[in-house]
Structure 1
Amino acid sequence: MDERTALVTRRGENYGGRSRQERATDRRDRILASALHLFGTHDYDDVTVAEVCAGAKVSKRYFYEHFVDREDLVRALHRQQNEWLLAGVSAATPDAPGSLEEMLRPAVRRLLGMLQANPERAQVIYINAPRMETRRRGVLREDAQFLAGMLRRVGGRPTTEIRYERMLLALVAGLSEVIIDWLSRGMTDDVDALADHLTDFCTAVLGRLERS
């Protein structure tokens, strides 16, 4: 539970058979669900707080109990959706991969498959939320750390820490740009071919990193 929602839940008692916490959590979930649909189908600048509230069937008063403003909402939404994506990728990674490629290929294929099957989520993760530059940079660092964790499963260890971190950051930034290009063109490219291309790119960069 986020801090603003926790604050709201301390203010009242049960109503209609549900606690204050349950009602506040339900409202926040509905706001996020409405925001996912709207920011997943429209440009960032075309979505208003009023439209999000209408879709969630809550008043602006309740919106501002949970979020400071529209940007705060999109940050929370993006964090939620990126966590969903990384959890799915992690679940597709073999527990004991025999090689770097054997680990990366199913992970990349799962990532692209999840995005293709959930275009609204894809729009939020890669198109709308990244317009907030500070959040975009933070997510790239988070994703680089996630990749570092995956690499430890096949024995990947940095020889020079700062060089390793920079290479991983550059790698996830490059992957993100290719994915954004794919999304922007309607996800019409063959997913298996794209997964192969991205896997080859990752193994080439990471293989070079391991040898140096």
Structure 2
Amino acid sequence: MLDGWNVNRSYRGMSAEQRLADRRERLMTAAYTLYAKPGFTATTIERLCSEARISNRAFYECFGGREELLQALHERCVEESLATVSKALQDAPNTLDGRIRAGIRAYIEFTTADWRRARIMHVEVRRSGDVLTLSRQRAVDAFARLIEDASSDFPRPAPLNRRLIALGVIGALQELLIEWLLSEDQPEIDELVAVAVHIFNRSLEPG
């Protein structure tokens, strides 16, 4: 996981492939902090290289540019989040309410456990312009399918298209997490979970 990366490993005894992989991890670690703050647009390749302690030339052996590095970082954050939510859904009580609460709590707790992850996934993903458009669309689609699959065993009547409901819930979650990140009066995690669960349940009620 991102939190456990170590940028202090020696190159001694490494093959060329291992050295390349090590440099990529150094850059991913540097970007994990710098892309979160001061942010993607304010972070230069020179600063990334300085933080990762590699040369500018070595950067281009690993990534085609800052944008490719941001995409790799965002995709890793998404993959880790999906794995966490999937595990929570598997372990949840076998009821619709149980799965809803377990999945939402797992996502919110995992995302807020590290402010850098939360900023990259919910703030920088928007501030980066078109860089993460496709990556963000793939992430939203993956989470929407996860929500649909989690509720498919419980044919609770829905007034509207279930996929659109899933997309709406994802949008609400994103806004709640942005509020958590940027608000001076930061809401409690339990409050975020309660609000998100309420929104999901209300979305399934007849009009």
TM score, norm. by length of structure 2: 0.81
Structure 1 position 109, deviation (Å): 1.8
Query: Aligned pair in 2 of structure 1 residues 158, 69: CA closer, same or farther (>3 Å)?
Result: farther
Is the partner of 2:150 in helix, strand or coil? helix
Aligned twin of 1:10: none
Out of 178, 181, 186, the position equivalent to 1:180 is 178
1:141 aligns with 2:141: yes
Alignment of 1:19-168 (within 5 A): 19-95=15-91, 97-131=93-127, 132-133=129-130, 134=133, 135-152=135-152, 154-155=153-154, 163-168=161-166
The amino acid of 1:73's aligned partner reads: L
The amino acid of 2:108's aligned partner reads: L
Aligned twin of 1:8: none
Aligned twin of 1:9: none
Query: Aligned pair in 2 of structure 1 residues 17, 111: CA closer, same or farther (>3 Å)?
Result: same
The amino acid of 2:146's aligned partner reads: F
Query: Gaps (5+ residues) in structure 2?
Result: 1-10
- 142-151 vs 52-61, which deviates more? 142-151
Aligned twin of 2:6: none
For the Cα contact (< 8 Å) 1:144–1:165, is it kept in 2?
Answer: yes
Query: Aligned pair in 2 of structure 1 residues 96, 189: CA closer, same or farther (>3 Å)?
Result: closer
Amino-acid identity (%): 28
For the Cα contact (< 8 Å) 2:176–2:192, is it kept in 1?
Answer: no
Output one character per residue of 1:99-155: Cα deviation in whole Å (capped at 9) or x when no partner: 211112122222222233201111111111233341333322222122223334x34
Query: Gaps (5+ residues) in structure 1?
Result: 1-14
- Structure with greater helix percent: 1
Query: Aligned pair in 2 of structure 1 residues 33, 102: CA closer, same or farther (>3 Å)?
Result: same
* CA distance, structure 2, for counterparts of residue 66 and residue 158 of structure 1: 50
Structure 1 position 94, deviation (Å): 4.3
Number of aligned pairs?
193
* CA distance, structure 1, for counterparts of residue 40 and residue 164 of structure 2: 30
* CA distance, structure 2, for counterparts of residue 99 and residue 23 of structure 1: 48
For the Cα contact (< 8 Å) 2:148–2:162, is it kept in 1?
Answer: no
Aligned twin of 1:6: none
The amino acid of 1:113's aligned partner reads: E
* CA distance, structure 2, for counterparts of residue 44 and residue 22 of structure 1: 27
The amino acid of 1:138's aligned partner reads: R
The amino acid of 1:125's aligned partner reads: M
Structure 1 position 96, deviation (Å): 5.8
Is the partner of 1:58 in helix, strand or coil? coil
Is the partner of 1:45 in helix, strand or coil? coil
Query: Aligned pair in 2 of structure 1 residues 83, 186: CA closer, same or farther (>3 Å)?
Result: farther
- The list of structure 1 runs, each at least 4 consecutive aligned residues, that deviate by more than 4 angstroms after superposition, is 156-159
